[in-house]
Amino acid sequence: MRVSRPVEVFFVAAAFLAVPSVVAAAFPSTDCFLPSVGRGAGKGSSEWYTRVMVHNPGSTDVAVRISFLRRDQSNPSPVEVQDVVRPKSVNIYNDPITELFATTGFGALRFQSDQPLVVLSRIYSEPPEGLAYSVGQLFAAVPTAFAVGLGEVTTIINGAQTIPIEESDYRFNFGLVETAGASATVEIRLYSYTGNLRTSRTVTVQPYEVRQWDMSFMLPDENAWAVSLGFEVTEGDGRLITFGSLIANKSNDPSTIEMEFGEHLLAH
């Protein structure tokens, strides 16, 4: 099923440009993950939607398989749909969770193709007043090759919350996607902005599982400002893509925090 119309390209591009978020780095890939997508109600008054744009920079048709990995469960055989992206064109999926997969909920999307594609998304909260009043953030799909495995570490920065959480200016969500189809034991370490280790937790992740937490998972009754979160796979063959999101509590305006990529991935 191909969902791409020129008029939608204009409106979606305008919506992206109107969002005061940092543009995420986009890497062409034949296997990549959007780590945070969804359709449904969130905290407070937030109501979340996702738009996805898939660009084919090449000169031939590209076949793509799109899979929805639902949060908080193993996804060994996820539902997938197939599509074709024409040369130099952009396929736009205005609401892929409901349009492609006929469901609601949160998780990740995986894109597998026979030639490299560039995948971007906007996950946003739309109030009753309509799309013009929406607030959202960009996510660029992360190539599977960028995931970290056994003994490797990646970091998310700029975590924040104040106590009581209900009165905090910000809330901070962070999470991960397992990309290799294997389980993993993961140690999550929280550091102050001065580099001091404040606390750590160990979690087990199942094959193709998507997880997300808020800051209270690490610091249930403490203030946190500009903290960083380190993720290390300590056991298992699983590999991780991680992500963060800093959200203004009253407006629901979010900002994307990408995982840190190793220098060896970017040197070329």
Domain-by-domain residue ranges, the chain? 6-143, 153-266
| pLDDT tens-digit map of 23-48 | 456 899 999 999 999 999 988 788 99
User: Taking residues 185-197, what's their average pLDDT?
Assistant: 96
What is the model's pLDDT at position 13? 34
How far apart are alpha carbons 27 and 78 in whole angstroms?
24
The yes-or-no verdict on residue 236 having pLDDT over 60 is yes
Domain 6-143 and domain 153-266, same fold? Reply is yes
Distance CA 71, CA 198 (A): 27
Q: Name the pairing type of β-strands 210-214 and 197-205.
A: unpaired
Confidence of residue 265 (pLDDT cuts 50, 70, 90): confident
pLDDT, residue 230, reads 98
165-186 mean pLDDT: 94
Q: Mean pLDDT score of the chain, rounded to an integer?
A: 89
CATH number for the region 153-266 comes to 2.60.290
Give 229's contacts (C-beta < 8 A, 6+ positions apart). Answer: 155, 156, 157, 159, 174, 188, 189, 190, 191, 218, 242, 244
Q: Which of 122-126, 166-170, 185-189 has the lowest mean pLDDT?
A: 166-170
The class of domain 6-143 in CATH terms is mainly beta
